[in-house]
Amino acid sequence: MLAADLNEVVAKINEGVDEINILAAENMTDTIYLDFTKTSPSQIVTGDINGDVIKWIRNNSHRYLAKKTAEGKMTICQLADGDGTVFAGDGSSADLDGSQGDVMVHIPRFFYHVQELSGDKWEIDFSLVKISEEWQEYDGKQLIGAYEAYVDAGKVYSRSGVDSTGNVSQANFKSYARARGNGYTIVTWEQHCVMAILYYAEYGNTNCQAIIGSGTDSYQKQTGQTDSLGMADTHAETDGNTMSINFWGLENWWGNKAEWVDNVVVNPSSVNGVWRITDKDGHSRDVQGFSTPTGEWAYPKSVVLGQHLDMVGKTLGGSTSSGLCDGQYLGASTSRVVCRSYSYAVASGGVACASANGDSSRTLADVGSRLAFAGEIHIETDVNAFKAL
């Protein structure tokens, strides 16, 4: 049998396995509960921790090399989950330096439903099918840069082996991302919130630094330290405090540099503590969170959440080891743009960390961003065909 014929047979078998797995998972629903009346990170999240749906989402999330093939269209080829330096399809070496495309993480489509049970108590359901109109969708038509952003010639990339870029304003990062073409942005508020909830659902603990690690105490680490890990998470007790952290295939999802977010502004008017979020459809919505005096980090005990999973601090009283275990910082001026995560390995940083203390023109050496894409995505299973693009 010719190699091309064998590859086609293997692809058809894999497609069949995927269809079986999807059919088996379609009837499953995971439910987790967030009880913010509790303060211990290990007690806030209960329910179907790392349940079947969460496992399916995790097992079908991968790192890919991604190439733009037309405006608003991307072709991606999977990297091996256990070693992100090789292709999953044939085990051949993958060039992660940009010569074969951006290194991105794809999370598959799933649905979620949020309801408030009582004050500061929430139920979140996950499914692979839309059970009713009240359910929200993570559409699976998005990619998130595996690394913090690298800017070259006025465009944003996700590459290994380079110094991630700082000292660029949020406004310029947005412009440099859009210079790549239709669908390109920097990391979005939706992605920030979804990854936080997926972390809680997988680990059942709100202290991400105690589980995954806090990274190393520098904002100048070169990208690619987690290449050989692929999709494997770091762990605080082994490697997560001595190297760049890896969570769900995302290197330095917290730590190293803070990351400008694309589509959220805090204090859009004279009302303090309002987060104005612009969703993919262009609709803007206001979410009222807590307000604090300028110059102070605050530690949320609970978040507003709501149907969009908004990780907006609601009540204070947490700390770096209780409640959300992550800090949020609000400036008093109007039109403060948001950066997620935080620089260095500081204890206030993590999946829920957000800072809004500058306008869109502010630049800081320890604040960068991360490439993202939303649009048409084609998965190419033939490695040679992908390389030839």
| pLDDT tens string 299-319 | 999 999 999 999 999 999 999
Q: Does the structure show a pLDDT above 80 at 1?
A: no
d(CA 92, CA 387): 11
The separation between CA 233 and the C-alpha centre of its own chain, rounded to angstroms, equals: 14
pTM score > 0.85 for this model?
yes
Confidence band, pLDDT 50/70/90 cuts, at residue 25 = low
d(CA 65, CA 212): 25
What does the mean pLDDT of the chain come to? 93
- Number of C-alpha atoms within 13 angstroms, CB side, residue 130? 9
310-316 and 371-374 beta bridge pairing: unpaired
Q: Look up tokens 């762990």; give the residue.
A: 235
Range in 17-21, 52-56, 320-324 the model is least confident about:
17-21
Question: Is residue 106 exposed (0-12), middle (13-18) or buried (19+ Cβ within 10 Å)?
Answer: buried
Q: Does the structure show a pLDDT above 60 at 193?
A: yes
Q: Which two tokens stand for residue 332?
A: 């008093």
Q: Domains of the chain: which residue ranges?
A: 189-372
Average pLDDT over residues 122-147: 97
